[in-house]
Amino acid sequence: MTHTTGPVRYAADLAESLLTHADAELGRSFTILTYEEGSGLVDRRTALQPVYEAVVARVGQPKLLGGTTYGPSVRWSNRERTLLLSGDHSEATLSAHPGESFAREEFWRFDSGSLPYPYTWQLDRHGPGRDHGWTFHGHAAADDWTSAEEGLAGLLASWAEHLPVQAPGDWAGFKLWAARDWGRTMIVSFDPSETNAEFHVAIEDKDHEQTLERAVEMRARGWRDVDEHRWWRTKLPVTDPTAAAELARVVITDLRARGTVCPDEVTAWDISAGDNGELWVPGIGVDVSPRRGEHH
């Protein structure tokens, strides 16, 4: 049940006003929630959820779901305006903007390569509202491995914090192939299971005999367990504040160990959130196939 007092009621009232009232102040960010100092992603997620649910109950489902490396990025749109839920690790905010010009400015920020990106990921489930025709669906590989690792860690952490609020119960993930090791699949995912929410990365290693020496080599890259089908896996709980960064480190370390020279040689594909809608990941840090499931 949605609460109707305090910041929850304020957020719902504000959202309705910003999206529909003729005299609403555009371009200004209004704080709707302040997080306790030192709160982690699970704490922030728990605090934001009732506020988010109250906004949805008042103004309806968003047009676009999404997040950045530092906060949510959710949009409700009508013909004239876009209502944006955003923020960072200290607060959540609501703001309203002229719809078409706001979308166009975001597109050009992406297209020019300006950082930080307006959103690291965006999920289009064809919600109600107006599409202003400037949504950015492009991708660019990171300039170096450090940036690629940071981008991947930020994407995973953002999924863990914001997907359970915006799309309860849905997993998210993708597969990776490397140009110099084409055909070997690496799977990266976030599983929101209520009893054991975790990050998971796995890679097939079928062309190597699983000797003691191979096990030492793979564990040095960050892999933890191997199954009878020669798939190596690492699983880390979302409650571990270092989990997203550690998982990203495993991915990049293994890619480099198999001869990959730069992020441009890596392709992400089969990108999905619960097999529902179109998931775009401009902040992933590697190249992306044009369509889900497409690969060479």
Per-residue pLDDT of the chain (296 residues; tens, 9 = 90+): 334 458 899 999 999 999 999 999 999 999 999 999 999 999 999 999 999 999 999 999 999 999 999 999 999 999 999 999 999 999 999 999 998 999 999 999 888 887 889 999 999 999 999 887 777 777 889 999 999 999 999 999 999 999 999 999 999 999 999 999 988 999 999 999 877 899 999 999 989 989 999 999 999 999 999 999 999 999 999 999 999 999 999 999 999 999 999 999 999 999 999 999 999 999 999 999 865 444 33
Per-residue b or e along 27-55, where b marks 16 or more CB atoms closer than 10 Å to that residue's CB: eeebebbebeeeeebeebbebbebbbbbb
Q: Which two tokens stand for residue 151?
A: 């981008």
Strands across the sheet containing 81-87:
30-34, 91-98, 81-87, 74-77
Q: In one letter, which amino acid is 162?
A: H
**Rounded Cα–Cα distance for residues 169 and 193 (Å):** 7
Q: What is the pLDDT of residue 290?
A: 66
Distance CA 100, CA 72 (A): 21
Q: Residue 111: what pLDDT? A: 84
Sign of torsion over alpha carbons 40, 54, 96, 34: negative
**Phi, psi (degrees; rounded to nearest 5) at 186:** -115, 130
Contact 181, 259 (CB under 8 A): yes
Question: What confidence score (pLDDT) does residue 291 get?
Answer: 52
Of 53, 261, 296, 56, nearest to 141 (Cα)?
261
CB count within 10 Å of CB 290 equals: 8
Q: What pLDDT is attached to residue 15?
A: 98
Alpha-carbon gap, residue 52 to 293, rounded angstroms: 32
Nearest to 248, CA basis, from 119, 98, 120: 120
HSE-CB of 181 using CA atoms within 13 angstroms: 21
Task: Pick the closest to residue 150 from 252, 267, 287 (CA basis).
Answer: 252
